[in-house]
Structure 1
Amino acid sequence: MLAKLDEDALVRRDVSVPGTLSGETRQVDVLIMGSLSGQDISIAVECKHYKRKLGIGIVDEFAGKLQDLNVERGLLFALNGFTQPAQNRAAGARVPKIVLSSLASYDHTPADLDSLFTGLGDCPHPNCYTGDIGWYVWIATIEDSEPDTLEFGTCDICGTQALRCSECEDIVDFSWSESSCGCETDYSLIEDRKGIDVKEIERRIDGTIVTFNPDFSRGVTYRTRSD
């Protein structure tokens, strides 16, 4: 995938590289170096042929290798999947970002493998392939009903604002103050007087407007793809 998007991308297989922190030689199944939309990117790919699910220790070891090699992103394949703690460990990894994938769930077609690389980030901007959105929960208080929620946040790479539709859960690019989801739900961002921060989000469905306000007390959430 990266080689298709960047003709100068360097793909090396079964490579030994000295660690930048430890100085020890590290073996990597596949190491990819290239550029996407002006962003330098490095990806390490490793495959594990174990009869059992891979545990958290393997993911920890992989994360340490990525840090030692100064590689920002890693893709770890396993023949029989991963334990839940291992998936949680990868989901919480920010630097480096880690994607887990079970070989049992893929048919090994080129299109299938391409989707793994595009799945390294959830930013909806068409030129941002690896950015992740830091999601915050926004709440709307509705009379005689349970509070409604949606998620809104900013990409950690390109700064794009994005919203996760409360109706269909698609991610909507908010490069402008108004946007519509594919499910025909309309959203508007209401900024403060300085035009810097978003203070409210309006959702319009069939003429009904619901206003959401931020609940920053819940903190930011990142989601890393894991299959």
Structure 2
Amino acid sequence: MSEIMDWRLYERILTCFEIEASGLDVSVTPNAKIIGSISGVARQIDVLVDARWEEGVQRRIIFDAKLRKRKVDVKDVESFEGMMRDVQASRGVLVCSSGYTEAALARAQQSIEIRIVTADEAEELDFSMIDPCPYCRHKKRKTKGFVFWDGQLPLPVSWSWAIVFTGKCDVCHSFAFWCWDCGSKVVVPDEETYECGCEHTWFVEKNDDEAVFVIRMADGEVPLDRRPLR
């Protein structure tokens, strides 16, 4: 995984920590871009966490990475708090490599948590749940994405169960699935539909607020994951 031993690694480390801690209850989107409710412009968020199946943004958490030599200060906290309001996040986490000032910690108060993760700690992460995004490579993008597998879902199929992993690319933001029954591991861009070896159909539905990743089986359709657009 030496390809991402750069500034992106430190940002994406947040995603891996959140996936490990949260389980299936949340949907984790690395390098998210959503429209601010106040500013009306696209906001870039290092890691966006929403409830996987519940509607609304009441449980939204955003993460911001500060990989630099100086400490996080009051201005950093205030800027982050402003972005939290704009994207309607109830909680925020600032992750820094060089610590923070006492004033920054005092300003953060209850809604913002500040964590210290050094660059050395980031490089020790187990990347077993990350794969290069074949769609980004096929499109010959300048920045190649990585799929972060953030959900292991047991799905009832007739008399048995099917085990499926879902994930998202951190650059093209496409959904991906990994079907353990047939072994298919595929990125499904928003405008495409894919049928795996199990004859299940995978596709994306969009409305004004979000994109939803759906599997169609013999017994009906099941929503698997979502990606907010606002």
Give the structure with the higher percent helix.
Answer: 2
TM-score between the two structures when normalised by the length of structure 2: 0.40
Kindly name which structure, 1 or 2, has the bigger radius of gyration based on alpha carbons.
1
TM-score between the two structures when normalised by the length of structure 1: 0.41
